[in-house]
Amino acid sequence: MTSRYRSTESTDAPSDRVDTRAPRRRTVVKAAAATAVLAGPLAAALPARAADEAPAFLHGVASGDPLPDGVLLWTRVTPTADAIPGSGRGPDTEVEWIVARDKALTTVVAKGSVTATAASDHTVKADVRGLAPATDYWFGFSAGGTDSPVARTRTAPAADASVAGLRFGVASCANWEAGYFSSYRHLAARGDLDAWLHLGDYIYEYGTGEYGTRDTVVRQHAPTHEILTLADYRTRHGKYKTDPDLQALHAKAPVIAIWDDHEIANDAWSGGAENHTEGAEGTWANRQAAAKQAYFEWMPVRPALAGTTYRRLRFGKLADLSLLDLRSFRSQQVSVGNGDVDDPDRTLTGRAQLDWLKAGLKASDTTWRLVGNSVMISPFAIGSLSATLLKPLAKLLGLPQEGLALNTDQWDGYTDDRREILAHLRANAIRNTVFLTGDIHMAWANDVPVDAGTYPLSASAATEFVVTSVTSDNLDDLVKVPEGTVSAIAAPVIKAANRHVHWVDTDRHGYGVLDITADRAQMDFYVVSSRTKADATASWSRSYRTRTGTQKVERTYDPV
């Protein structure tokens, strides 16, 4: 198993790792051809394959959760034509994997095999160890004489290593039916990422046309009904993994992912969800278990504890990354204005996770403490938005459209947990804490104040960078006006009511690139020209940074 693998490397991207500290501009890579439909009732659209045809790797390859000595490898094999995701069909199939120092897979450093079975939807993982730190590797899979694409991954720096810099792509909220995932394509084209973070809503659970498409389904997902069962969730994950731009990004850098609600159901909490009807849609326990099982089958993620995604990764002496699970343990969301948001018996994180986060932040000896956070921690008061903007904003946040004051699905709905973590940061003089957030379909650069009512006269305990959605509706989509129209009106009002907010873009889709050195953590915000065009271009929008020791955000005009 050496040279039989084919490479996913584009001729438009460098074949070797580049200096990640040097500023650069990337030319736009054209979108790959549209992919075949792979799941559910549209399985007939698959190319015809004979019953005895060799296995196929139709869902790409991926890696994730990099460690100094290892990385988690993932793929899904389709052993027979009828073994589509969620079908429960197909024979046990031996899948070989190989890791090498070069793209041709000639300098082999590790190899092995694992059996793909219907019990795991023919997904496989290899938790490879014994690798060198801070090193690029190439890997691939083989089954029945068929080779997968070859992909690049990268290990984390050694725990005690002095690291000059790190660069991570950052994305969230990708609704298949709303458009194309060109943000992933542009991140893949950079060729300079140590890893990329997905901060939740990697998939969406709704039935076709039910959510966030500006009344136009750009491309239909599968299954077409709302997903409820294990087979449904597997089919939806399989559909997403056919996207060429998503496959391209997974083939270029390891992913570090957490879930939010839509991997399960809208506004999920420990005992249910807004988008779940107990009885009519089965039990919540069964639905949640099915969603989580499919997630861990289809994502290159190591569960730190059974059924959760909270865990911590370290990148030398420069940064550690605490990844949160803000759905499995939370109390039910409360209605706006009833006072329960301050109830100390209600929790967003759960006691064990909050204690784990506090202990990790206090014990950290790295320069930066990053927190992968699926919902916004910064306070968010609406202020005096007009009714025409207030109602669509309420719809976006899933809140009552009258008397809106805050979003109780975010940390605003669980103020005791937020108060405890911010007080912990202040009491222990813990500096350089940066929350990295998705969920809200807008881009933000925030200080995280201890007391928003008196800020900026009072202290900031941390900073927060929030990335917008890849495709999911933001405000201009809900109001159905040209891009930028709402932000021009809403952003000044939001900033006036929230003095810790340095910048907010309510309208555009895109992604972020987080660049970290000993002196600063900087987020470059990028926007795509259109979510409905497969060949959408990307352009830099804004850059904000926090300098070491300051706990405050400032604008910079020097994107990396």
pLDDT in tens, 477-499: 888 888 888 888 889 888 988 99
Mean pLDDT of 20-47: 31
Q: What digits encode the pLDDT tens for the residues 295-335? A: 999 999 998 777 899 999 999 999 999 999 999 999 999 87
Does 400 score more than 70 pLDDT?
A: no
H or E segment to which residue 476 belongs: helix 475-479
In sequence order, the β-bridge partners of residue 510 are 527
Mean pLDDT over 399-416 rounds to 71
Higher pLDDT, 52 or 95: 95
User: CA angle 255-259-262, nearest 5°?
Assistant: 125
Q: What are phi and psi of 67, to 5 degrees?
A: -120, 165
Indicate whether 19 belongs to any domain: no
Is there a domain that residue 33 lies in?
yes
pLDDT: which is higher, 49 or 549: 549
Q: Tell me which of 152-156, 383-387, 442-446 is least confident.
A: 383-387
How do strand 319-323 and strand 368-373 relate by DSSP bridges? Answer: parallel
HEC string of 246-271 equals HHHHHCCCCEEECCCCCCCCCCCECC
Q: Residue 154 region, left (φ>0) first, then alpha (ψ -120 to 50), else beta?
A: beta
How large a percentage of the chain has pLDDT more than 90? 77
Considering the domain boundaries, does residue 174 fall inside one? Answer: yes
> 489 or 383, which is more confident?
489
- Give me the domain span that covers residue 528: 6-13+27-556
Cβ neighbours, 10 Å, residue 258 = 26
In eight-state DSSP terms, residue 280 is B
Query: What are the φ/ψ torsions at residue 286 (nearest 5 degrees)?
Result: -70, -40
CA atoms lying within 13 Å on the CB side of residue 279: 0
Per-residue pLDDT averaged across 107-132, rounded?
A: 98
Rounded Cα gap, residues 345 and 339, in angstroms? 13
Q: Is the pLDDT of residue 393 over 90?
A: no
Q: At 408, phi and psi to the nearest 5?
A: -80, -5
Within a domain: 273 = yes
* Residue of 167, 196, 165 lying closest to 66 (CA atoms): 196
Does residue 49 have a pLDDT over 50? no
Residue 46 has pLDDT above 50, yes or no: no
Question: Mean pLDDT lowest for which of 185-189, 234-238, 484-488?
Answer: 484-488
The angle at the Cα of 26, spanning 25 to 28, to the nearest 5 degrees, equals 140
Q: How far apart are the first and last CA of the chain?
A: 39
DSSP conformational letter for 322: E
Cα distances (Å, whole numbers) of residue 555 to 170, 404, 499, 501? 19, 30, 15, 12
Output the pTM of the full model: 0.89
3-state secondary structure 156-209: CCCCCCCCCCEEEEEECCCCHHHCCCHHHHHHHHHCCCCEEEECCCCCCCCCCC
Cβ-count burial 351-360 (b if 16+ within 10 Å, e if not): eebbebbbee
Length of the chain: 560
271 occurs within a structural domain = yes
Of 140-154, 225-239, 472-486, 538-552, the one with minimum mean pLDDT is 472-486
Q: Give 41's pLDDT tier (boundaries 50, 70, 90).
A: very low
Range ranked top by mean pLDDT from 2-11, 178-187, 384-393: 178-187
Q: What is the mean pLDDT of residues 513-528?
A: 98
Does residue 21 belong to any structural domain of this protein? no
Residue 20 located in a structural domain: no
pLDDT of residue 365: 98
Mean pLDDT of 287-293: 97
Q: How confident is the model at residue 2 (pLDDT cuts 50, 70, 90)?
A: very low
For residue 396, what pLDDT is reported?
A: 65
What type of residue sits at position 64? G
Predicted pLDDT at 341: 85
Say what the pLDDT of residue 453 is: 86
Instruction: Name the β-bridge partners of 102.
Output: none
Q: Looking at the 3D structure of the chain, how many domains does it have?
A: 1
Task: CATH number of the domain at 218, please.
Answer: 3.60.21.70
Give the pLDDT score at 475: 86
pLDDT at 13 over 70: no
Confidence bin at 32 (pLDDT 50/70/90): very low
The bridge status of strand 443-449 relative to strand 501-505 is antiparallel
Average pLDDT of span 33-37: 29
Q: How high is the pLDDT of residue 388?
A: 64
> Is residue 214 predicted with pLDDT exceeding 80?
yes
Mean pLDDT for 31-55 is: 42
